[in-house]
A and B are shown apart, each in its own frame.
Chain A
Amino acid sequence: MSSTSSPVRAAPSAPPRASSTVPPWRNPRVRSAVWQGLLVLVLAAIAFWLVSNAARALDERGMTSGLGFLLDPAQFALGEAFFVFTPGHSYLAAFAVGLGNTVMLSIVSIVTATVIGVGLGFARLSRNTLISGLAHAYIEAFRNTPQLVQIVFWYSFFTLLPGPRQSWSIFGLAFASNRGLTVPAPENSTIALLVLCMLLVGAVLAFTIGHVADRSRRRTGRRWKGLRSLELAALLVPALAAWLASGAPLGWSVPELRGFNYTGGATLAPEFLAIYFGLSFYIAAFIAEIVRGGLVSVDAGQIEAANAIGLSRADLYRKVMVPQALRVIIPPLAAQYISLLKNSSLGVAVGYPDLFSVSNTALTYSGRTIEVLSIMAVIYLVLCLAIGAGANLINRFVQIPER
């Protein structure tokens, strides 16, 4: 009976008086708009001040701006290059050389670091104290020292080795000297590269077949007959076909000391070795800890259950532990790959012509500081985003499928 007269009931029906009576400077929405507007104004003013300073500075030095210089001929040569670069090629070509070197170096280092890192991660969990102890020592030594010190150390190590005549022989096949590491190489390197690429294509093909077979088995409950041989064929046939189609060359060129230098083989320069070792060995220590963390994160009950149903040790790893560990491993692994890519810029410290060091040279010769540094930064950003996107793609395969 008192419900109609109750002030408690009346209040909600009343219009929100707050907005009309509260002065605008105490209204949170007005305040946030004002603050953000002020922030934008201040930043714009600072930006305008900076840019006008830069414009004046460039004007005084008689420098022009813009990206037109990219097509001008560059006045420098590059040492070890993805393709031959001599003075007279354009700046654009120089950037292409740098990008090619950075990408190639990063791919080779990422593969090496992953192989070493995964090995060390498993070794760290070995019950054999000798193995786990050695892995632990490696990880501590490489993680707790600056990467740049390691790179400079490797460079100094290789350049201080004796000359080719007193070189260190590794089973008479490879030689380490102050020219770098001379290793056997296939005689026709383009065909070798083609075969290698085809092997990669085969691996992707085999993986896809395995995936499709697995899905069909889940749907129908039937196994594909001869799946293993089919996968093996998918892996090998493209590479084999490419090799046969190119005339099936068998020749390997083995380095041999003639006079003062080697003939045959391929020589990896100290500059490349220093940055390659420096990148791979350093990141491998971090990957090892990520892999160990992933394996340890698998619930002990899972391992006990696998043992209880009598899975072999290999199956325990392949079917139970690794698939679950991968979920934990892949995101931080991608971060390490990105860090490796970015630190490939340290090649400049030993004179390896990667993207950063080429940009640095181009900057010195062209004087276009802002443009050159911006182009370089954008390329690195795009490369990092590409690795991140790739990792996300792989992550989707290993994640727990959720509705």
Chain B
Amino acid sequence: MTTLAPRSFARSGPAASRPAPTPPHGVRLFLTTHLFPSPLAGLTSLVLGAVLVLALWHIARWAVIDAVWVSPADGSACRAAAGACWAVIGEKYRVMLFGAYAYDEQWRGAVIIVLWIVWGAISAGSWLSVRVRLAGWALVFAASIVLLKGGILGLTPVGTDQWGGLPLTFIIFGGTITGGLPLAVLLALGRRSELPVVRLLCVATIEGVRGIPLLALLFFAALVLPLFLPAQLTVDKLIRAEIGMIIFFAAYAAEVVRGGLQAIPEGQEEAAQALGLGYWLRMRKVVLPQALAISVPALFNDIIRAFKNTTFFSILGLFDVLGATKAALQDPNWVRYGTEGYIFVFVLYFIICSAMSAYGSSIERSHQRRGRRAAR
């Protein structure tokens, strides 16, 4: 009775204050979470880091320290050096960028390149409406053809056999997209058509084209097409190859557009039908605008691939960037520096394709943001 038992084990009154633990921050946070979370992982990082430093050192020695940047036109300075010969690019960049285009007229090619880059940068922003951006691209594309072809506005005419380099690559690409997208939409609509003949034709085209290599399609267009056309109708080699590119792009893009079409609820079309709209009006005003907006991010994969596929023209003997570079490196004085030449082409494509891919994913992100806002 008299023993004093505590009534509660709970603490009464404030606890002694302790300083808050200092979490690792700055460099230490990065090291502990990203590089050395455990001894084994730390060892991996160390070994990998050492290999990386060694590799980078070798590359830097070849590419920078022992490299030659300028050389006389016969490449004599390069032959003496142990490292890379970047002089080959200074010597040959005009052939790589403009192909066999007449030397005095190469400013026209340069204007085309500037036009594409400037309008590309402008239309990547969002301050212009889609309509203005597309109209601008149509204008840039038409201007490129006029500039390269000449014959009007006092420009000397230049045959398509002399077109080459980056302007040619841009024009092939532009033509593929301009011709391919409408065809892709038609094929996608045809694949969902209720008319069995139309559906069958579209399915056969899409699956047939997707089952053979692009190179085979280009050879069909280049070699078989002239046989099937009357002798008096000769189609330019460039246009024949372009037809092959367009069909190939359309077959792949059609499947993307079909995905977009499938994402539109059936009620949309039924509502339009109830309003009394005919098939084409229904598609043009209700279904396609929504379906295409959904397809745009996925279409970017196909568009980037179309740009990369322009290099296939070099196999047909046309002088796109790759074909022109191959031709430039035939020079016996510079034939030994092919590695440097192709690295230049590699970097050129990498910059353009990365820019397009970054733009594509920025569109995708803004779509998602809008979707989230709408869902709220």
Contacts and interface: CB of A to CB of B under 8 A. Distances in A.
Contacts of B35: 128-130
Given A144-B357, A145-B353, A369-B224, A380 B216 contact: yes
A160 interface: yes
B245 to A, nearest CB: 14
Interface string A288-303: 0000000000000000
A152 B224 contact: no
A402 B334 CA distance: 64
Interface stretch (B2-10, B150-158, B207-215): B207-215
Given A51-B228, A54-B228, A144 B353 contact: yes
B311 interface: yes
A11 B215 CA distance: 63
Interface string A66-79: 00000000000000
B52 A373 contact: no
Nearest to B48: A130
Interface string A351-383: 000001000100100000110010011001100
Contacts of B44: 128, 131
Nearest to B347: A145
Nearest to A32: B195
A127 B212 contact: no
Interface in A114-146: 127-131, 134, 140-141, 143-146
Interface string A141-169: 10111111110110011011000000000
Contacts of B52: 130, 134
Contact of B198 (A36, A150, A346, A377): A36
Contacts of A131: 44, 48
A149 B34 contact: no
Contacts of B49: 130
Interface string B215-239: 1100110011001111100000000
Nearest to A348: B315
Interface residues of B, number: 58
B343 interface: yes
A140 B304 CA distance: 13
Nearest to B326: A152
A50 B216 contact: no
A89 interface: no
B119 interface: no
B349 A373 contact: no
A117 B201 CA distance: 37
A40 interface: yes
Contacts of A152: 322, 326, 342
Contacts of B16: none
A127 B37 contact: yes
B107 interface: no
Task: Name, among B48, B210, B213, B343, the residue most crowded by chain A CB atoms within 10 Å (CB to CB).
Answer: B213
B225 to A, nearest CB: 9
A327 interface: no
A373 B213 contact: no
A345 B220 CA distance: 14
A153 B343 contact: yes
A349 B315 CA distance: 6
A148 B216 contact: no
Contact of A373 (B195, B216, B338): B216
A68 to B, nearest CB: 19
A160 B336 contact: yes
Given A145-B350, A380-B212, A128 B34 contact: yes
Contacts of A159: 338
B161 to A, nearest CB: 21
A57 B231 contact: yes
Given A145-B353, A370-B227, A376 B311 contact: no
B41 interface: yes
A127 B349 contact: no
Interface of B: 30, 33-35, 37, 41, 44-45, 48-49, 52, 194-198, 201, 208, 210-216, 219-220, 223-224, 227-231, 304, 308-312, 314-315, 322, 326, 329, 336, 338-339, 341-343, 345-346, 349-350, 353-354, 357
Closest 3 CB pairs between A and B?
A: A156-B338, A146-B308, A144-B353
Interface of A: 32, 35-36, 39-40, 43, 50-51, 53-54, 56-58, 60, 127-131, 134, 140-141, 143-150, 152-153, 156-157, 159-160, 342-343, 345-346, 348-349, 356, 360, 363, 369-370, 373, 376-377, 380-381, 384-385
28 contacts: A32-B195, A36-B195, A39-B201, A43-B201, A53-B229, A56-B231, A128-B34, A128-B45, A130-B34, A130-B35, A130-B45, A130-B48, A134-B52, A144-B304, A144-B350, A144-B353, A148-B312, A148-B314, A148-B322, A153-B342, A157-B339, A348-B215, A348-B315, A356-B216, A363-B223, A373-B219, A381-B212, A384-B211
